[in-house]
Amino acid sequence: MSSTEREITITALKYDPQSKVSKPHFAEYKVKEAPGMTLFIALNEIREKQDPDLAFDFVCRAGICGSCGMVVNGKPRLACRTLTSEFENGKIQLLPMPAFKLLKDLSVDTGNWMNGMSKRVESWIHTNKKTDISKLEERVEPDSAQETFELDRCIECGICVAACGTKIMRPDFIGAVGLIRAARFDIDVHDERSDEDYYELIGDDNGIFGCMTLLGCEDNCPKNLPLQNKIAYMRRKLVSVK
Ligand code: SF4
Ligand code: FES
């Protein structure tokens, strides 16, 4: 090992809630750090060479699919976008993200949670207009389209939910991801829902009035989405309903 290479220590929570004999414990792994190594690469190496039983999720390895969220030294992050070199002392502790059902070790079920969120905010265009595919699409102002596209950059990683203090107090809180999803459709000129309609969906303490502006979501969102800005936008609109 050259003087610039180092050995890092990764500790990961291991626990299989499906097993009657499994007990939560930490496993420690030593890994030779490679240039540009991400946590995802390190975990794969561990699974290949040291512990084939270690469970964690990934698909894209590029910060796009949102499946590799985990708590890294106390903060929820994407494993595929986290360089091991960021940790100067070479010690990295990994935990599964809270707020989601634990599947095994570092793997949690964000998919079913996101599905529930999506249904709750009725995450689809509501319109009475009939679509005529023989005609050109309705024009949308570029600024308006840009605002919608920006919120569409959400990858449903769940990091904003795992970082949210309100979610700990209110288990049914919909999180920043749910609130900005509602904002995304409210901004979209194709969606004809009224403020009253959105109030019915998210006008309570598990929705838009539950957020305590603790900023955990915005501080940790890997896509740097303007979460608090859009939450404030929806709150201002819905506070005047009823
Ligand atoms: S808002 Fe950000 S942190 Fe939350 S799910 Fe979307 S991309 Fe992930
Ligand atoms: S593996 Fe897809 S976001 Fe990390």
In the chain the domains, ranked by start, together with CATH numbers, are 7-108 (3.10.20.30), 121-127+140-239 (1.10.1060.10)
Which of 58, 110, 159 is the pocket-test mutation for ligand 2 (most atoms within 8 Å of CB)? 58
Confidence of residue 5 (pLDDT cuts 50, 70, 90): confident
Q: Residues 96-121: pLDDT tens digits?
A: 999 999 999 999 999 999 999 999 99
Q: Residues 58-99: pLDDT tens digits?
A: 999 999 999 999 999 999 999 999 999 999 999 999 999 999
Is ligand 1 within 6 A of the CB of residue 225? yes
Closest residue to atom 8 of ligand 1, CA basis: 157
Is residue 217 within 8 Å of 176, Cβ to Cβ? yes
Q: What is the mean pLDDT of residues 8-32?
A: 98
Residue 199 reports pLDDT greater than 90: yes
Residue 1 reports pLDDT greater than 60: no
Which of 71, 123, 157 is the pocket-test mutation for ligand 1 (most atoms within 8 Å of CB)? 157
Residue 204 reports pLDDT greater than 80: yes
